[in-house]
């Protein structure tokens, strides 16, 4: 079996403020790396026999987007700049992220995908002479929906359970 190239795991972020009519933009330009970090909640106990039991009760999933170079006219830049300008908090930071498996084409332009609710945390803004940077972190909530993503329309459709 051949190795899967990194470009075939795509991440799309909803840049709309309301989430009612999602507008998805793909992460990746200027990014050399993006990984979903799964910080496991681990509980270990050692009994009097010297045995250790391990229980993993969940994960706190995050993804750091750094660097992110601002590009005027893009939905993601406008969303991030609005967070900065208005010091947005709580539900104003809510979005969805769609993870698309481009190596498993299901039909014309449709690929298996998982949509997950997330919150955007802007880490800083400014940067050096290379350009205006707005690094941010996606904090995932674990609310996931399986479905398919149409690349040409940039739309997610949930699959029936």
At 11-36, the pLDDT tens digits run: 999 999 876 889 999 999 888 888 88
DSSP string, 10-45: EEEEE--SSSSS--EEE--TT-S---EEEEEEEEEE
The topology (CATH level 3) of 6-158 is: Elongation Factor Tu (Ef-tu); domain 3 (2.40.30)
Six token digits for residue 114: 């998982």
Q: What pLDDT does residue 26 have?
A: 95
Examine the pLDDT at 104 and tell me if it is beyond 70: yes
Closest CA to 93 of 37, 9, 14: 14
Where in the chain are the domains? 6-158
**Does residue 141 have a pLDDT over 80?**
yes
- Confidence label for 109 from pLDDT (cuts 50, 70 and 90): confident
Bigger pLDDT: 161 vs 17: 17
Q: Which residues are CB-contacts of 65 (< 8 A; sequence separation ≥ 6)?
A: 27, 31, 34, 135, 136, 137, 138
pLDDT, tens digit, for every residue of 49-66?
999 999 998 889 999 999
Report the C-alpha gap between 107 and 74 in whole angstroms. Answer: 29
pLDDT of residue 42: 92
Provide the mean pLDDT of the chain.
92
- pTM to 2 decimal places: 0.87
């Amino acid at each position: 079996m051949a190795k899967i190239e990194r470009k075939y795991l795509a991440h799309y972020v909803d840049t709309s403020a309301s989430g009612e009519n999602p507008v998805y933009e793909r992460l990746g330009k200027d990014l050399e790396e993006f990984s979903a970090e799964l910080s496991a909640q681990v509980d270990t106990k050692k009994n009097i026999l010297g045995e250790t039991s391990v229980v993993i009760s969940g994960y706190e999933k995050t993804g750091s987007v750094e660097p992110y170079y601002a590009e005027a006219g893009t939905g993601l830049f406008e969303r991030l700049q609005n967070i900065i300008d208005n010091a947005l908090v709580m539900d104003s930071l809510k979005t969805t992220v769609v993870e698309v498996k481009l190596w498993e084409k299901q039909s014309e332009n449709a690929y298996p995908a998982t949509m997950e609710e997330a919150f955007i945390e802007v880490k800083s803004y400014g940067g050096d002479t290379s350009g205006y940077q707005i690094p941010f972190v996606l904090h995932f909530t674990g609310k996931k929906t399986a479905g398919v993503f149409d690349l040409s329309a940039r739309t997610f459709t949930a699959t029936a359970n």
